[in-house]
Amino acid sequence: DADVTQTPRNRITKTGKRIMLECSQTKGHDRMYWYRQDPGLGLRLIYYSFDVKDINKGEISDGYSVSRQAQAKFSLSLESAIPNQTALYFCATSDSGTGTYNEQFFGPGTRLTVL
């Protein structure tokens, strides 16, 4: 089984709808991240969480919110989806332990289309 899973893998929705993307991990890592990938723009950080009680905005948090329900679960919500949020979304984890150098472990991605 995959260490970092994302659901759904694909989603098509309409403008104005609320959408939740979910991420679960079995790696036991304390840190979790949400990224967005757009062609030519690379990966941009939306939110990150260093533990269950720690949530931080990333580079492009406007229009998004997150919830860290447990150490293993980190969900991303689009309160009112708009077409320019059409993108590939990745969840990632890392371990804060000494010697890990914050290597990122990525899920398979969720392709979101907002019509």
Partner 1 sequence: GNSVTQMEGPVTLSEEAFLTINCTYTATGYPSLFWYVQYPGEGLQLLLKATKADDKGSNKGFEATYRKETTSFHLEKGSVQVSDSAVYFCALSDLPGGSYIPTFGRGTSLIVHP
> Which one of 1, 10, 40, 84 is in contact with partner 1 (CB under 8 A)?
40
- In degrees, rounded to 5, the angle at the alpha carbon of residue 45 between the alpha carbons of residues 40 and 50 is 155
53 binds partner 1 (CB under 8 A): no
DSSP state of 54: E
Which of 41/82 has CB closer to partner 1?
41
DSSP state of 48: E
41 binds partner 1 (CB under 8 A): yes
Upstream peptide bond of 108 is cis (omega within 30 degrees of 0): no
| CA distance readout (Å), 73 to 9, 33, 64, 77, 115 | 16, 11, 17, 13, 28
Helix, coil or strand: residue 47: strand
State the binding string over 10-39 for partner 1 (x if CB under 8 A, else -). ---------------------x-x------
> Which one of 43, 55, 60, 72 is in contact with partner 1 (CB under 8 A)?
43
60 binds partner 1 (CB under 8 A): no
Q: Could you list the residues that contact partner 1 (CB under 8 A)?
A: 4, 31, 33, 40-43, 45, 48, 50, 58, 90, 92, 94, 96, 98, 101-109
